[in-house]
């Protein structure tokens, strides 16, 4: 464990993004030195120039092509998605490596789906397990930038993990304490119908401070970055109704019916968080189980009158 230096300087990439905004707010509240950039990650010259000019000790990469209004956009814009999520992300990582800068990548855990070994209610996916969800182009770019199969050597090589300066945090269905359009709860509360499947979720108020602890201690490797446990859509919406919007009603449909109204498939899975929980214990930081975390989140939301 490295000692936290008072001279740390954080540079957030993708400065206008949703997660980036939350990170900036938290770092500022903590009195940390933080700047942001919107320089394109794939522009190698501009990236190197930005790193030279701003001289960060830590880059927080919250940039990524996520699609608007949702990941279905990536299905029709594959080159642009690769340019950001593969070429850009790797370029930024490599430039940070050349400059000796620690780089935290806000990645996604939507690279798995329940299977025979990982059934609903069973064991979660551990960090080292191979991605098994390729239902969306967005998820495919995100998983392939982490790992690649080298058939000639008959060995699996993890591209990102090869770099000795990288921390990869896999978020899933992130939730904020307000009803921002990017919030998973906002999304499902606005759909005509929702599926009802348990999933791992990331409550940003619980997890983003943990990302700063891990970054400033120069932790490395891959972490499933969600609250422990899994929660179903109906459980989320029942808590939303209880704490935030008492008159809220919703309807369910099956995953087969859902597939008729979306272009890209959606990942459903539970991630194993024991690696993250154990690591954060070293720093005296605990993350609430997902049902407790949602209750606390909706209480904060109701107090902020985000209805």
Ligand X SMILES: NC(=O)c1ccc[n+]([C@@H]2O[C@H](COP(=O)([O-])OP(=O)(O)OC[C@H]3O[C@@H](n4cnc5c(N)ncnc54)[C@H](OP(=O)(O)O)[C@@H]3O)[C@@H](O)[C@H]2O)c1
Write down the H helix ranges in the chain.
Answer: 18-29, 44-54, 72-76, 78-82, 89-98, 137-144, 159-162, 184-190, 204-216, 233-243, 255-259, 274-281, 290-303
Choosing from 11, 27, 34, 41, the residue that interacts with ligand X (CB under 6 A) is 41
* 191 part of the interface to ligand X, by CB under 6 A: no
Binding mask of the shown chain, residues 71 to 90, with x at each position contacting ligand X by CB under 6 A: -------------x---x--
Closer CB to ligand X, residue 38 or residue 303?
A: 38
Q: What is the DSSP letter of 100?
A: T
* 228 part of the interface to ligand X, by CB under 6 A: no
Min separation Cβ 109 and ligand X, Å: 7
Q: What is the DSSP letter of 85?
A: I
Closer CB to ligand X, residue 18 or residue 191?
A: 18
Closer CB to ligand X, residue 108 or residue 218?
A: 108
Closer CB to ligand X, residue 67 or residue 228?
A: 67
Closer CB to ligand X, residue 43 or residue 292?
A: 43
Decide: residue 130, CB within 10 A, 0-12 exposed, 13-18 middle, 19+ buried: exposed
* 50 part of the interface to ligand X, by CB under 6 A: no
Closer CB to ligand X, residue 174 or residue 198?
A: 174
Q: Cα 303 vs. chain centroid, distance in angstroms? A: 26
Min separation Cβ 27 and ligand X, Å: 15
Give backbone dihedrals phi and psi of 7, rounded to 5 degrees, phi first: -90, 10
Closest CA to 209 of 23, 39, 71, 73: 23
Choosing from 12, 63, 74, 140, the residue that interacts with ligand X (CB under 6 A) is 63
Choosing from 10, 73, 106, 112, the residue that interacts with ligand X (CB under 6 A) is 106
Closest CA to 44 of 101, 106, 95, 103: 95
* 18 part of the interface to ligand X, by CB under 6 A: yes
Choosing from 12, 19, 244, 269, the residue that interacts with ligand X (CB under 6 A) is 19
Closer CB to ligand X, residue 67 or residue 229?
A: 67
Min separation Cβ 281 and ligand X, Å: 24
Residues 6+ apart with CB under 8 A from 161: 146, 168, 221, 222
Which 199-218 residues touch ligand X, going by CB under 6 A?
A: none
* 182 part of the interface to ligand X, by CB under 6 A: yes
Q: What pairs with residue 103 in β-bridges?
A: 59, 166
Q: How far apart are CA 11 and CA 22, in angstroms?
A: 13
Give the binding-site size for ligand X (rule: CB under 6 A). 22
Min separation Cβ 1 and ligand X, Å: 26
* 17 part of the interface to ligand X, by CB under 6 A: yes
Q: What is the DSSP letter of 83?
A: I
**Two structure tokens written together for 189:** 């509360």
Q: Is 261 helix (H, G, I), strand (E, B) or coil?
A: coil
Min separation Cβ 145 and ligand X, Å: 10
Closer CB to ligand X, residue 40 or residue 241?
A: 40
**Two structure tokens written together for 152:** 């000639």
Q: How far apart are CA 122 and CA 198, in angstroms?
A: 11
Tokens 């009603």 belong to residue = 249
Q: Under the rule (CB under 6 A), what is the footprint of ligand X?
A: 14, 16-20, 40-42, 62-66, 84, 88, 106, 108, 171-172, 174, 182
């Amino acid at each position: 464990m490295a000692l936290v230096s008072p001279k740390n300087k954080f540079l957030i990439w993708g400065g206008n993004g949703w997660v980036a905004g939350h990170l900036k707010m938290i770092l500022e509240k903590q009195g940390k030195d933080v700047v942001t950039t919107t320089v394109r990650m794939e522009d190698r010259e501009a990236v190197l120039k930005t790193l030279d000019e701003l001289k960060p000790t830590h880059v927080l990469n919250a940039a990524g092509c996520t699609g608007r209004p949702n990941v279905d956009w990536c299905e029709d814009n594959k080159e642009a998605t690769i340019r950001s999520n593969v070429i850009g992300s790797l370029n930024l990582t490599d430039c940070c490596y050349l400059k000796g800068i620690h780089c935290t990548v806000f990645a996604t855990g939507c690279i798995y789906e329940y299977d025979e070994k990982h059934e609903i209610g069973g064991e979660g996916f551990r960090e080292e397990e191979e991605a098994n969800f390729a239902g969306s182009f967005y998820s495919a770019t995100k998983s392939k930038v982490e790992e690649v199969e080298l058939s000639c050597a008959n060995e699996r090589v993890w591209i990102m993990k090869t770099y000795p300066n990288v921390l990869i945090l896999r978020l899933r269905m992130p939730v904020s304490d307000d009803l921002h359009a990017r919030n998973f709860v906002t999304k499902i509360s606005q759909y005509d119908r929702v599926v009802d499947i348990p999933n791992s979720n990331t409550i940003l108020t619980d997890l983003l401070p943990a990302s700063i602890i891990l970054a400033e201690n120069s932790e490395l490797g891959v972490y499933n970055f969600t609250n422990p446990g899994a929660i179903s859509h109906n459980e989320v919406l029942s808590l939303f109704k209880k704490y935030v919007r008492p008159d809220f009603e919703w309807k369910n449909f099956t995953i087969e019916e859902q597939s008729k109204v979306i272009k890209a498939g959606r990942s459903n899975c539970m991630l194993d968080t024991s690696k993250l929980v154990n690591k954060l214990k070293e720093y005296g930081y605990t993350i609430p189980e997902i049902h407790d975390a949602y209750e606390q989140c909706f209480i904060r939301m109701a107090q902020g009158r985000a209805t």
